[in-house]
Chains A and B, each alone.
Chain A
Amino acid sequence: MNYRLHIQLLVSLCLVLVLTLTGCAQSSSSLARESTGSDKLQVVATTTIVADIVQQVGGQAVEVSSLIPAGADPHAFEPSPRDIAIVADAQAVFMSGGGLEAFMESTLRSAGGSARVIVLSEDLIAAENQTSEDHDLEGEVDHLHAGDPHVWMDPNNVMDWVAAIETSLQELDPANAELYEANAAAYSQKLQELDAWIRQQVEQIPAENRKLVTDHQIFGAFASRYGFEQVGAVIPSISSSAEPTAQELAALEDAIRAQGVHAIFISSTVNQNLAQQVAHDTGIQLVTLYTDSLTGPEGPASSYLEFIRYNVSEIVNALK
């Protein structure tokens, strides 16, 4: 009969714990809800990266919140009921697309609402698929590039995002059309400067060292723009949830040794076991980059511009 008492105590403890935590959660939500009389345009972005760009274009006239908190992996994200409610109440939802946000389809269906959905990478990825189809016909297939949704790794693609955002914001809120035009122009200018800076940085890396090995396929856009070769990935997939076979790992290690790769670049959001072992066995360094998300305000990648600068600096330092 002792055990009944113990079980009751254990169950009560768990209940108290869960209730306290939900209480705490109410006050520390990562989504700020403006419930009363804000005349700003309320929009939602999926990742912190998308949110940053939208905020840059929207400026003072737009209130952006991001569904996926900083540091989380979009491939594995599952929205809470509050997230779905926010999508339902929003006037517009900005997402990257290309299969990155796998949860969005069902979220949009559950949420209903009248939000306008803007898929920023739609045209880019369609063009990409077209190119690889063309390559297919010629017998060349760039497997590592096709279908890679991490298009924001190339600032030129983000310039296309800016244009799409400008257009949709102007349609949603014509009163501030000029503001959006001005912001978009200013930010595009910064992106062009960023592009130039990257090219200059990459110059420091000898041509034969411009080889990227990553944990999953992230650098398609970046590699083709700035002249890198994606030698391989620990998980040869665009999603961080897949698993490599022994053959694939062996082939990767062979490729690393044969081509003299200097470093493996991994995301901060995934399990690092496999990549660590490959780096250890081939004697090269393991470098952590930010790939699918910005950091919080105190981190080294709190805005898109910082995000790119951080990653490029790390890449250059490792490979030069």
Chain B
Amino acid sequence: MNVFDLLLQPLGYAFMQRGLVAALVVGVICAVIGTYVVLRGMAFFGDALAHAILPGVAIGYLAGSGARGPLFLWSLVAAVVSSVGIGAITRGTRVREDTAIGIVFAGMFALGVALISSVRSYSVDLAHFLFGNVLGVSNTDLWVIIGFGVVILVLVLVFYKEFLVLSFDPLLAVTLRLPSQLLEYLLLVLISLTIVVSLQTVGVALMVAMLITPTAAAYLLTRRLPVMMALAAGIASLSGVVGLYISYYIGVASGAAIVLTSTVFFLTAWAFREIQKASWKRMAQR
């Protein structure tokens, strides 16, 4: 079997085609937004938000009897409430961002459990009803992520210089009289949106990995922010595609394969960097 056949055979299955597109699109969006998450030290945000949306899932489940539309919308509401709450705690008290994330995540998750158990007298991690699987992406799901993806990327482009100032030097944002609070909340909302949309398309583990690992790898390889974003998006997409193919041929869970692939990319970037630094040292010593 030649390389061409190897590439084409999995594409004979519609679910593989959709999975590839989903991994690509989600990879790009998560990598771009993940840049802000990593640079602002919010890496726990992704996993925390996956738990913090539980009350939203609970309300959505009860309101819509398990239909995905209400689940998704209410999860979005819970995600935005959580991120705004985290923002408010960080700004209004001495508590640091990582502590604020822990507080909100634990509280919201418990609220979700309480809501579910009080109405149905059993507690179940209903969030599983929302968590997607890259192999289970429907055509509607694809349109949803492409749609949201376009909106998110456009907003990042439009407010690029403002988000940059906000992330690097918040005091400068104030002295330049930018509406920094508003922009801060906008950024948090974009991050929540990315997280929830990715969650329901490809599930938790994959979302968290796509948000962080490709960006971290890019961070090691470049010093310029736009290049870093582009590189992160590239690594994320490549991890998605390669990971899916590997999972098909080796018979392992697809989400895990993609995450491991992106981790390998990170390790490679790290090794590359170390080699680069060693060779510079040698050159300087001559």
Q: Are B251 and A245 in contact, with the CB atoms below 8 A?
A: yes
Q: Which residues of A contact B123 (CB under 8 A)?
A: 78, 80
Indicate if A137 sits at the interface (CB-CB under 8 A).
no
Q: A-side binding surface: helix, strand, loop or mixed?
A: helix
Residue pairs across A and B with CB atoms within 8 Å: the count is 122
Given contacts A72-B120, A253-B13, are A247 and B251 in contact (CB under 8 A)? yes
Contact flags A80-124 to B (C-beta < 8 A → 1, else 0): 101100000000000000000000000000000000000000000
Indicate if A258 sits at the interface (CB-CB under 8 A).
no
- Output the nearest chain A residue to B125 by Cβ-Cβ distance: A76
> Which parts of A7-49 form the interface with B (CB within 8 Å)?
7, 10, 14, 17-18, 21-22, 24-25, 29-31
Q: Are B133 and A3 in contact, with the CB atoms below 8 A?
A: no
Q: Are B122 and A3 in contact, with the CB atoms below 8 A?
A: no
Q: Which residues of B contact A21 (CB under 8 A)?
A: 114-115, 118-119
Given contacts A246-B248, A250-B16, A274-B133, are A7 and B124 in contact (CB under 8 A)? no
Indicate if B70 sits at the interface (CB-CB under 8 A).
no
From A175-183, A189-197, A204-212, A277-285, the one touching the partner chain is A277-285
Q: Which residues of A contact B135 (CB under 8 A)?
A: 244, 246, 249, 274, 277
> Which parts of B117-161 form the interface with A (CB within 8 Å)?
117-125, 128-129, 131-133, 135-138
CB distance from A282 to the nearest CB of B (A): 9
Q: B-side binding surface: helix, strand, loop or mixed?
A: helix
Q: Are A243 and B251 in contact, with the CB atoms below 8 A?
A: no
Q: Are A18 and B133 in contact, with the CB atoms below 8 A?
A: no
Instruction: Give Cα distance in the complex from A278 to B129, angstroms.
Output: 18
Q: Are A78 and B124 in contact, with the CB atoms below 8 A?
A: yes
Instruction: Give Cα distance in the complex from A76 to B244, angstroms.
Output: 28
Instruction: Give Cα distance in the complex from A247 to B9, angstroms.
Output: 12
- Output the nearest chain A residue to B114 by Cβ-Cβ distance: A18
Instruction: Give Cα distance in the complex from A245 to B10, angstroms.
Output: 13
Q: Which of B10, B121, B131 contacts A250 (CB 8 A)?
A: B10
Q: Which residues of B contact A14 (CB under 8 A)?
A: 107, 111
Q: Which of A1, A78, A271, A277 contacts B15 (CB 8 A)?
A: A277
Instruction: Give Cα distance in the complex from A246 to B124, angstroms.
Output: 27
CB distance from B204 to the nearest CB of A (A): 12
Q: Are A7 and B15 in contact, with the CB atoms below 8 A?
A: no
Given contacts A14-B107, A76-B125, A250-B16, are A245 and B117 in contact (CB under 8 A)? no
- On chain A, which size bracket covers the interface? 35 or more
> Which parts of B80-129 form the interface with A (CB within 8 Å)?
85, 88-89, 91-93, 107, 111, 114-115, 117-125, 128-129
Q: Which residues of A contact B114 (CB under 8 A)?
A: 18, 21-22
Q: Are B92 and A79 in contact, with the CB atoms below 8 A?
A: no
Q: Which of A25, A247, A276 contacts B119 (CB 8 A)?
A: A25
Most buried by A among B122, B124, B244, B249: B122
Q: Which residues of A contact B131 (CB under 8 A)?
A: 271
- Output the nearest chain B residue to A73 by Cβ-Cβ distance: B124
Given contacts A18-B111, A247-B251, A249-B135, are A281 and B15 in contact (CB under 8 A)? yes
Indicate if B252 sits at the interface (CB-CB under 8 A).
yes
Indicate if B75 sits at the interface (CB-CB under 8 A).
no
Indicate if B14 sits at the interface (CB-CB under 8 A).
yes
Given contacts A246-B15, A249-B13, 18 further A-B contacts (CB under 8 A): A3-B88, A10-B85, A21-B115, A24-B118, A25-B119, A29-B121, A30-B121, A31-B121, A76-B124, A76-B128, A245-B253, A245-B254, A246-B16, A246-B247, A246-B248, A247-B249, A277-B137, A281-B14
22 A-B pairs, CB-CB below 8 angstroms?
A3-B89, A14-B107, A14-B111, A18-B111, A21-B114, A21-B119, A76-B125, A76-B128, A82-B121, A83-B122, A246-B19, A247-B250, A250-B16, A250-B248, A271-B128, A271-B131, A273-B136, A274-B135, A277-B14, A277-B135, A277-B137, A277-B138
List chain A positions with a Cβ less than 8 A from chain B.
1-4, 6-7, 10, 14, 17-18, 21-22, 24-25, 29-31, 68-69, 72-73, 76-80, 82-83, 241, 243-250, 253, 271, 273-274, 276-278, 280-281
Q: Which 7 residue pairs are nearest across A and B when measured between Cβ atoms?
A: A3-B92, A273-B136, A25-B118, A274-B136, A247-B251, A21-B118, A281-B14
